[in-house]
Amino acid sequence: MGAGIGIVSLLVLVIAVLAIINVLQSSKPTEMKALWVIVIIVFPLVGAIVYFLVGRE
């Protein structure tokens, strides 16, 4: 059971990092980038999913 939680946690971390990289490479204004990064850091999985569904250009 511990290994499964570790794998899921690692997957969530990778998704959040990829979302943050995507945000920082976007052409959005700096304020929007900062807001998205904060949302992704506070709510890693949900924030990343919402960004990929709604926030991308």
Nearest to 44 by CA among 23, 19, 26: 19
**Is the per-residue pLDDT at 17 higher than 70?**
yes
Q: Look up residue 28 and give its two tokens.
A: 């959005």
What pLDDT does residue 3 have?
80
For the residues 8-14, what does the mean pLDDT come to?
Answer: 95
Q: Can you give the residue ranges of every domain in the chain? A: 2-55
What pLDDT does residue 1 have?
61
Residue 24, CA distances (Å) to 8, 9, 27, 31, 46 in order = 24, 23, 8, 11, 18
What pLDDT does residue 44 have?
96
Q: What is the pLDDT of residues 28-45, one digit of tens each?
A: 999 999 999 999 999 999
pTM over 0.75: yes
